[in-house]
Structure formats: C-alpha cells, structure tokens
Amino acid sequence: MPAPGAPRTFDVAVIGGGMIGPAVSLGLLERGLRVCILDEGDDVLRVARGNFGLIWFQGKGFGMPRYVEWTRRSAMLYADFAAELKDSTGVDIGHARPGGLELLLGEDELAHRQHYLGQIYQQGGGANYEVEFIDRKQVADMLPNVTLGEDVIGASYSPLDGHVNPLFLLRAMHTRFQQAGGTYLPHHRVSGVRKDGDAYTLDTEGGSVSAPKVVIAAGHGLKTLGPPLGLDIPIRPQRGHIMVTERAQPMLPMPISAFRQTVEGSIMLGVSAEEAGYDDTIDTATLHTIAARAKRTMPQLGNLNIVRTWAALRVLTPDKCPVYAESDSHPGIFGIASHSGVTLAAANAKVTAGWIAGDPPPPEFEAFTVERFHDAPA
Amino acid sequence: MMHRRNTAGERVTINIDGKNVEAVVGESVAAAVLAAGAGATRTTPVSGAPRAPYCMMGVCFECLMDIDGIPNRQACMVSVTPGMKIKRQAGARTVGGAS
C-alpha cells in the first residue's frame, strides 16, 4: 500500500481525454504499459465533442510533405483500427472510406483549388498524390441522388477520404481504454508538473500522480501547460460551425468536404473558420453562409429542416500542421497538438504510441517540431 | 380505438393514405388520425419501429407524417384543412428534388 497522500504511479500519464489522449493511450496499453488519462470536467472546452467526423486526406499538408504522409498513413490504418474497436467494445464507429469530393463552384474556385493541390503535389516530388480533378459530369455520376447546383463545375476527388461518427469514436476509445486496464481520472485538472527523481509528479485537483513519461494532449490546455516544460507551442483557437439536418433517405454516398450524410441519415453541413478567441457561441450570420453555400451546391438540401447546430474551437498551429515533440529541457514530456484528432486517431494509436513507449520516432515526426515556430527564417 | 369527447363543430373531409375521413375543424392532424383509428403513423429511420402520436403538444416528434406533400411534419402541430392529404411516413423522409 502506498502511504496515504502518496502519488499514484504509472508508466505514462496522459493529460487530456479528447481525441488524441485516448488514441495514444490505447497503443500504450497494447505495449503493456500502465497508463492513466488525466481529464477535467464537463465545464471545459470540449473540442472532441464538436467534430465533424471527416477522415480527410486531400488538401492536408500544404507546405509540409511529411504531414501528407502522416495523414495517408492514418487513413490507411483506419479500417483495422475501427474493426478492433468494434470487436473489443461492440461500438461501431461508422467508419467508411468511400472517397471524398470537394465540390467547386465556378472557375475561380477551380483555379484556386488546382493551384493549391498542385503545390502539394509538387512539394511531394510529383509522385503518389492520390487526388484528381473530375468534371461536373463525373461528379453527377458519383452522386446519382443529387441534383447539382448550376454553379458546380467539378470537384477534387481523393479515394483516401472517408468519415466516421466522431462521438462513437470517442466513446469506443474510452470504453476500450478502461476495458484494457487503463485508469481514467476525470476532475483531475493538472495544476503543475515537477521533476521528482526519475519521474514527474503531476499535481491535480484530484490528487497527485507520478510517471516517468507525460503526454500533454490537452488541446487548448497545452497553451498554459507547455511553456514551463519547454514546449512553447503557439496554438490558437479557430471557431467552426456545424449544422445538422433532420434524418433523410440516403443521398450522399460519400463525404463532400463540408457536407456529409451519417449512417442514420442526418446531413451535416459545416466547415466555417472564424477567429473568435475562446468564444464558442453560435453566430447566425455564419450559419446563414453555411446554409447558403449548401443550397447553392445542392439545391434540394433547402427542403430539409435544421435540427441542431453548434460551434467548436479547433486547436490550430500557425502552419495548420501538427506538433509531435519531446521537450529538450524536460525529457520524457511529450506535447501533441493537432486540429485533426479524428483523422489522425488511427496513426496515434498505432504509431505515435510506439514513439512515446521508446521506439524511434516515425520519419514524419522530423517535421512536426516546436522549433519551426521559433527559429528565425533563414 | 379513440373517440372524440366533443363531436360538435363543423366537419371537413381529409384524406389519410388514400382514404377519405371526416375531421372536426380546429383539431390537429394527429387527433384526426387517432380518431380515425389509423394506428401507427410512421416507422423510425434507423430500426423501422412503428410510432404513433404521443405527447400531442409538439415536444416528442413521434407523430411525424407527410402532410400535403411535405414529409416530417409534426401532425400534432398542424390543424386539419379541407381536402388535406396525409400519409404515413415510412422511415426517413425523402430529400426531394431541387427546391
């Protein structure tokens, strides 16, 4: 028995119970490590409750080929990851990879998209970038139940794009975590981390925890937790709105970037981006913009009623690419920041966990440093 | 079988799944459908379970029906009108063509 008041000890303490912390933790448990997840209450910013649910490849990694590779890797690992979660927990996370479209309205959008994706293609050496442009007729063939708006002139398409039910994903990961022997500690907001011999002691509102390795996967909490531990990562909140329609018969056989239909029939409309600080309230003008674009893209969506709407705050780095870094000043402290917690969940469970456990970092991580935000440009 | 407590009032004819039925002006579609003994008024989108009007006050959304060509309408919140065409709804609504 530990002395009363002595910290509970683990091999790895993971700060954050959202999309990233539990994914990494599942991989750590698979490697036989003792893991706890330190989480807060329901009164904090819960980015992982606000996801749209895309597993999205096309367009990711502008300016950073390694992020293209990392996203591809996760997309390819997802089917097995989803099957494992279903087999172990019974929770079907609704994973599908039917490919995805970004519909383009007018010549300007097409030109901009061609330029943008062309840059990503070229930065990768011009090989093996699984995105192509298709014309309006090809789009219509892919979406037989959709009457396309007259401005739709084509789309970019990637066979790697897919989607998932993000709430079932979160639930499945948490269920699996506890089933596999992990210790979930809600109401354990971390107030400080200090070096204590060979381990770190984390002081929380729910008592202390000790572990030689600490993963900070705390979303916006990284902003305050990171700097004293040598992880000064300049993340900022970026607000996004989502609207959900009533359930309808199958119309969209694949996700269309800002629009996707769930297995149950709801159509989700989304993807706004506003700089609003930590304000996650709803802005009706933004909802109007989303609805207007939806109707312009697929006019029949105008027949459907909206039944829910919400806004959430992405965890965004200055270059929109992720951070996976171990602190130089505090070895054993790892910081992870990304706005793609859903897309990257499979890679985080299968690969990131190995790096935390002591494997060499995967090649992609050479680009995901903290230093890139602080070094003066050459 | 449900019965109207108050049968006074002007009568209108409505149509439920192709069958003409008398209703009383001022009552809701849900009340008229229940009084006509129509039973289940829809099936659910995911499991296909039968459903019928329940709360009668606009809260539970169990009474969704296709009313005059518009699916997913709350039958308890819509008053009958002469010649109204009402259909049971099977599963999820259709999206319909371009609006």
Q: What residues in A contact B94, CB-CB < 8 Å?
A: 248-249
pLDDT at A374 over 80: yes
Task: Note whether residue B78 is domain-resident.
Answer: yes
| Cβ contact A56:A339 at 8 Å | no
CB contact under 8 A, A305 and B94: no
The tally of domains found in chain B comes to: 1
What pLDDT score was predicted for residue B9? 86
pLDDT at A376 over 70: no
To the nearest whole angstrom, how far is the Cα of B41 from the nearest Cα of chain A? 17
A298 to chain B: closest CA residue: B98
Task: Note whether residue B95 is domain-resident.
Answer: no
Residue B1: both structure tokens together: 């079988």
CB contact under 8 A, B92 and A300: no
In this structure, how many other beta carbons lie within 10 angstroms of the beta carbon of residue B23? Answer: 27
What pLDDT score was predicted for residue A125? 67
Task: Note whether residue B37 is domain-resident.
Answer: yes
What pLDDT score was predicted for residue B4? 87
Nearest-CB residue to A249 (from B95, B97, B98): B95
Q: What residues in B contact A252, CB-CB < 8 Å?
A: none
To the nearest whole angstrom, how far is the Cα of A175 from the nearest Cα of chain B? 24
- Give the pLDDT mean for A323-338: 97
pLDDT at A159 over 50: yes
A&B contacts, CB < 8 Å: 39
Q: Rounded to two decimals, what is the model's pTM?
A: 0.91
What pLDDT score was predicted for residue A23? 98
Q: What residues in B contact A304, CB-CB < 8 Å?
A: 95
A261 to chain B: closest CA residue: B95
- Residue type (1 letter), B22: E
- Give the pLDDT mean for A363-373: 95
What pLDDT score was predicted for residue A115? 97
- Give the pLDDT mean for A6-31: 96
- Give the pLDDT mean for B2-24: 91
What pLDDT score was predicted for residue A194? 94
pLDDT at A2 over 60: no
Alpha helix stretches (DSSP H) within A180-241: 222-225
Task: Note whether residue B4 is domain-resident.
Answer: no
pLDDT tier for residue A12 given thresholds of 50, 70 and 90: very high
pLDDT at B89 over 50: yes
pLDDT tier for residue A271 given thresholds of 50, 70 and 90: confident
pLDDT tier for residue B39 given thresholds of 50, 70 and 90: confident
Contacts of B54 (CB under 8 A, 6+ apart): B60, B62, B63
Mean confidence (pLDDT) of chain A: 94
Task: Note whether residue B6 is domain-resident.
Answer: no
Task: Note whether residue B98 is domain-resident.
Answer: no
What pLDDT score was predicted for residue B99? 46
Given CB atoms, is B95 within the 8 Å cutoff of chain A? yes
CB contact under 8 A, B94 and A246: no
What is the 8-class DSSP label of residue A351?
A: I
**Structure confidence by residue, pLDDT tens digits, A160-217:** 999 999 999 999 999 999 999 999 999 999 999 999 899 999 999 999 999 999 999 9
A263 to chain B: closest CA residue: B46
For residue B21, what is the domain's CATH number?
A: 3.10.20.440
Nearest-CB residue to A265 (from B45, B96, B99): B45
pLDDT tier for residue A248 given thresholds of 50, 70 and 90: very high
pLDDT at A310 over 80: yes
Given CB atoms, is B46 within the 8 Å cutoff of chain A? yes
Higher confidence at residue A37 or residue A4?
A37
What pLDDT score was predicted for residue A43? 82
Q: What strands lie across the sheet with A35-38, from one edge to the other?
A: A183-185, A35-38, A12-15, A213-216, A333-337, A323-326
Task: Note whether residue B2 is domain-resident.
Answer: no
Task: Note whether residue B49 is domain-resident.
Answer: yes
Substitution target from A263, A300, A306, A308 for chain B, most B beta carbons within 10 A = A300
To the nearest whole angstrom, how far is the Cα of A41 from the nearest Cα of chain B? 30
CB contact under 8 A, A249 and B92: yes
Query: Containing domain of residue B76, as a range?
Result: 11-90
Three-state DSSP state, A315:
strand
To the nearest whole angstrom, how far is the Cα of A298 from the nearest Cα of chain B? 8
CB contact under 8 A, A249 and B91: yes
For chain A, list the domains and their CATH numbers.
Answer: 8-51+167-234+319-373 (3.50.50.60), 100-158 (no CATH), 236-316 (3.30.9.10)
Alpha helix stretches (DSSP H) within chain A: 20-30, 65-89, 106-123, 136-142, 166-179, 222-225, 284-297, 345-347, 353-357
How far is A94 from A101, CA to CA, in rounded Å? Answer: 19
